[in-house]
Every structure is written in C-alpha cells, then in structure tokens.
Amino acid sequence: MLGSMTVRAVAVLTLLAALAPSLAGCGTASAPSPPTGVDELVIPTPSPDPADFVARVDNPWFPLTPGTRRVYDVADADGTHPLVVTVAPGQVIDGVGTTARVQTERGRRTVDFYAQDDRGNVWWFGRQGEWEAGADGAEAGLAMAADPRVGDGYRTAYAAGVVEDRASVEAVSDDLVTVVVRSALRPGASAEQTYLRGTGLESEQVVSGAYRVVRLRQ
C-alpha cells in the first residue's frame, strides 16, 4: 500500500498455567485496533500503486464531487474579494487518476490534483504548472487522513524548493477538524485551516506572516 506499509506487531498473551482453571474460556485476546490517523502510511509516498486508489474523493473532511462550486470571502491587506472553488475530473499523475480542485481568485486560476486511496485517505498529487508527483523528485503527500487524530503530523507534499509544507492536526470534533500548516520555504509563517464534515475547507487564517483570512460564504 502506498509504497510500503509497516505492520504493527501484535502482542501474544500467554496464560499462566496456575491461572488456567479460573480463566477457562476467557483466553482469547482482543483483535488489534484498525489503523487510524497516519498509522501505517508512508508520507510522502515515493511510489504510489494505482491499484490502491479509487475513482472518487468522498472523505467527509475533504469531499471533491465533480460539479461542486463554492464561494469564499477573502480578506487581506488589499481588502475583501471572492474566491471561487470548483471541482472537475483531473488528469493521470504518476499512474493515478485524480480529481481537480480549481481555485479562481482575482482572475488567477490555480488547479490542484487529488486522489483518494482505498482506506479513505486523500493525497495531494500536484499543482498545474508547478509540480507533479513522480516528476523531478516530487512526491504526493497527505491532504487529509481518513480518520484525523490530534497530534498527527505529516507532509502535505514534497517537491524540493517548490512545496515543503508540513501539517499538524490540532483539534478534532464530531463536525470540525483544525489543521495548522507550516512551510520550510516560509519560515515563521503558518496557516490555520478548519474543515467541516461533509463540506471540506470552511476557513483558513494566516496566523503569522502576511494577513489573510478565507471563509466559506454562508
């Protein structure tokens, strides 16, 4: 799975002979817990297996349904303006079919490509005109885990000198996940992102560095 997956060792419980009579019929150990957070994932992934990915991106924290259109309000040093996000079929990158998230802001169009693995994790495979997984040493990173867990940290992608972001999960509730993203290419700057279950990105705020707040229009 996704390059290489580590397998957690399962401890084998041994019954003491002296306790056998009192524990008769109760010697079966519980099954190991299923993977959660970033358990067993290699991030970024150097060699994604196309067979590990599915055609849809329906992670509840990062859903990408083609045809979706959402409008955000952006406030920055230059004032307030809209940002429009649409979703469309993407291209094949590093052998994996992707879904495109198209962002249009002040006439500038940014296209990012994502794919979801068969466990529900969403991976970032590239940005049009800037980098693509599998090209020039770039690797796909994690955009959103299937089961986010407070304390998890991971690269969202890696392309030397282009994208060197790291994310950390700061809070998880029934309806919201908060992630803080920092980049080695912009020391001192960070962005706090909030994801709403069933919707995806709800808000993004640069909490250090240049002022910028993005909020989903209600």
Predicted pLDDT of residue 57: 98
Predicted pLDDT of residue 35: 64
Within-domain flag for 71: yes
List Cβ neighbours of 131 (8 Å cut-off, separation of 6 or more).
Answer: 138, 157, 159, 162, 163
Within-domain flag for 207: no
Q: How sure is the predictor about 34, in pLDDT bands with cuts at 50, 70 and 90? A: low
Within-domain flag for 215: no
Query: What does the pLDDT look like over 58-91, one tens digit per residue?
Result: 999 999 999 999 999 999 988 999 999 999 999 9
Within-domain flag for 100: yes
User: Which range is least confidently modeled, 25-39, 47-61, 195-209?
Assistant: 25-39
Specify whether the CB–CB gap between 121 and 140 falls below 8 A: no
Predicted pLDDT of residue 215: 97
Residue 111's domain comprises 42-165
Q: Report, as an integer, the average pLDDT of 97-104.
A: 98
Within-domain flag for 184: no
Indicate the pTM of the whole model.
Answer: 0.83
Provide the domain count of the chain.
Answer: 1
